[in-house]
Structure formats: structure tokens, C-alpha cells
Amino acid sequence: MQLISNEEFKSSQHRVVPKSIGPRISIACFLRPQRLPENSSRVYGPLKELISDENPPVYRETALKEFIEHYYAKGLNGNGISALEHFCVLFLDCTMIDWLVNDALYMEHDHSILKARQSNPKLTNFIRLN
């Protein structure tokens, strides 16, 4: 749901801390790829209707098979890191740590330091520094 909604809806890692004000709404989504083998090569990505110049895609398109392979390779104890992080185009909302140094955006992602190639982090690619 998080991938196809371009982060309009957030996925949680099994445990949710409720807000102190207002109701909490949870939606459970389950995949059963073993029952739908014809869909294993189908490509999923953010809905085209939710993408614009002001709201670029957060995730790249991926086949269900690739997502499932990465999900299980990551392991069930992913230290709070979502399997979706692997498919991020914009590292802005997908990283655990980011900081600004001399107008350059640096981020820690999978224990590597990444630096933005241009000043606008929403429209940028990152280069691996180490």
C-alpha cells in the first residue's frame, strides 16, 4: 500500500504506537504470491495519478518476485528497517539518518554515507561515499 500510494499511506512494522489525540485507522494488506503465480512478474510502483513534478515518485517500480526476494533476504529481524527502503528513489523519507553540511545533504543508508548530487533532495540522486 505504501509503494503504490507513493507514501500517502504508511506501512507499519507490526507494532503501532497510537496517537494521543484522535482515532487511529489501521488497514491490513496481505500478499499471497504463491496463489497468484501469473502476477509474480507484474511490475508495481506508485500510481501514475499520484505522481507529479511537485510530488515525484518515492519508490521505483519493482516486480513482486524482486520485492519478495529482498524481503526474505533482509530477514524478519530488520532492526526496524522496511524492505521498501531498498526500492526508494528519494532517500529523503526512506533513511534513518540525514543531515546538512555546507548545503549538501548527507545520509546514512545501509551503513554507507550518501551525498546528494544537487541541492534539491526531492529531485536528486545520491552517490556512495564509502
Q: 126 and 83 share a domain?
A: no
SS3 call for 122 = helix
Same domain? For 99 and 51 the reply is no
Same domain, 66 and 120: no
Q: Is 54 in the same domain as 104?
A: no
The domain in which residue 113 lies consists of 94-130
Q: Band of the pLDDT at 24, cuts 50, 70, 90?
A: confident
For 9, 85, 86, 103, 113, the CA distances from 121, given in Å and listed in that order, are: 21, 16, 17, 11, 15
- If asked whether residues 28 and 66 sit together in one domain, one would say yes
**27 and 52 belong to one structural domain:** yes
Total domain count, the chain: 2
Residue 16 sits at φ, ψ, to 5 deg, of -125, 130
> Which tens digit of pLDDT belongs to each residue from 62-116?
887 788 787 777 766 655 567 777 778 754 444 433 444 434 444 444 444 444 4
Q: Cell digits for 127? A: 552517490
Cross-strand pairs, 50? none
Query: Residue 42's pLDDT is what?
Result: 77
CA distance 89 to 106: 15
